[in-house]
Chain A
Amino acid sequence: MANPMKIRATAKEGVTEVKILMQHEMETGLRKDADGTLIPAWFITEVKAQYQGRTVMEAQFGQSVSKNPYLLFRFKGGAAGEKVSVSWVDNKGESRTDEATIAA
């Protein structure tokens, strides 16, 4: 089971800023372990953020995104107490969804 994301959403002057820290190895598939065996690629491919059932950001990732991916974006609307949910899926089909409450 994948580890939870850290999500911080803050509403200010009509705009909600969302910061997401996902926990994922993001293996490129190009690295070798100590025995010289190639470590298979394992990385998040898609991320989606939703607010009140509407998609506010969609991202596709490749292997070049850093380990434990960080993401920041802003959308219009959102108020303190409302929720933002973020989901990701990786190239192995594993997925994770977490929710955060918007702070003022």
Chain B
Amino acid sequence: MSNEIDLSRRKVLKASGGVGLLALLGGIGLFRPSDALAEWNKAAFSSKAMDEALAGLGATTPEANAAGIQLTVPEIAENGSVVPVTVSSSLANVEQISILVDKNPNVLAASFTLPQGTEAFVTTRVKMGQTANVVAIVKADGKFYRTAKEVKVTAGGCGG
């Protein structure tokens, strides 16, 4: 009898310890019922520096390519909390587009995986704490290309 109680107590302890992980796994499980989705790139998204973020994306030395990548950002952003960013590319076989902000606390903002049949064209909105460079990294045919544009921010987007 006492043995049984002890056992259930252990189970409870074990369960409570693993709750965070279980919740995480559960969330992922719900989200991707069948096909395997690339796991959230924690290393790249927690990077505080550009080099680190690029390494996390596997793009340590992207080739500068302003002609093949069209990065559309406002020259001046009055509100740093919503800065529209559009990245498109004329390169062949674009597989991935990533958007980074070099002076944000977390440099990598978003990364898009584009299967075949999806155009190399994405628009989103990012937060910018201060005037900084918005960097677009495009992966095409297994190679990484880069372009950047400065956005002047008059009111930061990360204030309290």
Contacts and interface: CB of A to CB of B under 8 A. Distances in A.
B121 A73 contact: yes
Nearest to A93: B27
B35 A71 contact: no
Interface in A57-104: 57-67, 69-77, 87, 89-90, 92-95
Contacts of B76: none
Contact of B45 (A62, A69, A72): A62
A87 B115 CA distance: 17
Interface of A: 15, 26, 28, 30-33, 45-46, 48, 54-67, 69-77, 87, 89-90, 92-95
Contact of B158 (A31, A73, A94): A31
Given A31-B158, A57-B115, A74-B118, 9 more contacts: A60-B41, A63-B45, A64-B104, A65-B127, A66-B157, A75-B117, A77-B117, A89-B31, A95-B27
Contacts of A65: 109-110, 124-127
Interface in B37-51: 37-38, 40-41, 45
B106 interface: yes
A70 B160 contact: no
A36 B101 CA distance: 26
20 contacts: A31-B160, A46-B37, A57-B112, A58-B38, A58-B113, A60-B41, A60-B110, A63-B45, A64-B108, A66-B124, A67-B82, A72-B121, A73-B121, A75-B117, A75-B119, A87-B31, A89-B27, A89-B30, A93-B24, A93-B27
B74 interface: no
A26 B83 CA distance: 14
A60 to B, nearest CB: 5
